[in-house]
Amino acid sequence: MASECDITRLAEILGRFQRDRAILIPLLQEVQAVCGYIPPEAIEPVANHAGVFPSEVTGVISFYAQFYTSPRGRNVIKVCRGTACHVRGGRTVLQTVMKCTGIKDGETSEDMRFSLETVACLGACALSPVMVANGRYYGMLNPGRIEAILKDLP
């Protein structure tokens, strides 16, 4: 398992949950919160604790977009591709982020600084075009502002 999510950490997480299949999604959310993603090595212990087959855990992980199976960058950038953002320059936002980070949609930079994803809607249409960096919303974007935002991220 990744160094930030060794077997000791996983045992601590499992210990906070009762043994019941109803805890599968909250358990996976907690593993991801601690590890940053769901490491493959966590699937079998999670399945055993929840009382389900490993294939069921894998099915849940692949079904829900909130779960990730590979490490993500320190800064997760989400760019809106909804109608309001599209009409107000969303494509330019995405192109600027890709240019500044050197990655494409769905990728993580080699230095693990950035992960980039597009989403159908961020629910902030009045601020379009919009992106989210580490859970913080940035609206009414232009290339210069995007570059400044990305430069200030750790």
User: 50-97, pLDDT tens digit by residue?
Assistant: 999 999 999 999 999 889 999 999 999 999 999 999 999 999 999 999
What mean pLDDT is reported for the chain? 94
User: 6-27, pLDDT tens digit by residue?
Assistant: 767 898 999 999 999 999 999 9
The structure tokens listed for 150 are 């990305």
Fold classification of 75-152 (topology level): Glutaredoxin (3.40.30)
pLDDT value, residue 3: 45
Question: How do the domains of the chain map onto residue ranges?
Answer: 3-63, 75-152
Q: Kindly state the average pLDDT of the residues 125-150.
A: 97
The structure tokens listed for 95 are 């192109």
Residue 30: burial class (beta carbons within 10 Å; 0-12, 13-18, 19+): middle
Q: Kindly state the average pLDDT of the residues 138-153.
A: 97
pLDDT value, residue 5: 72
Residue 1 clears pLDDT 60, i.e. is over it: no
pLDDT value, residue 4: 56
CB distance 39 to 8 below 8 Å: no
Between 1.10.3470.10, 1.10.10.1590, 2.90.10.10, 1.10.760.10, what CATH number should domain 3-63 receive?
1.10.10.1590
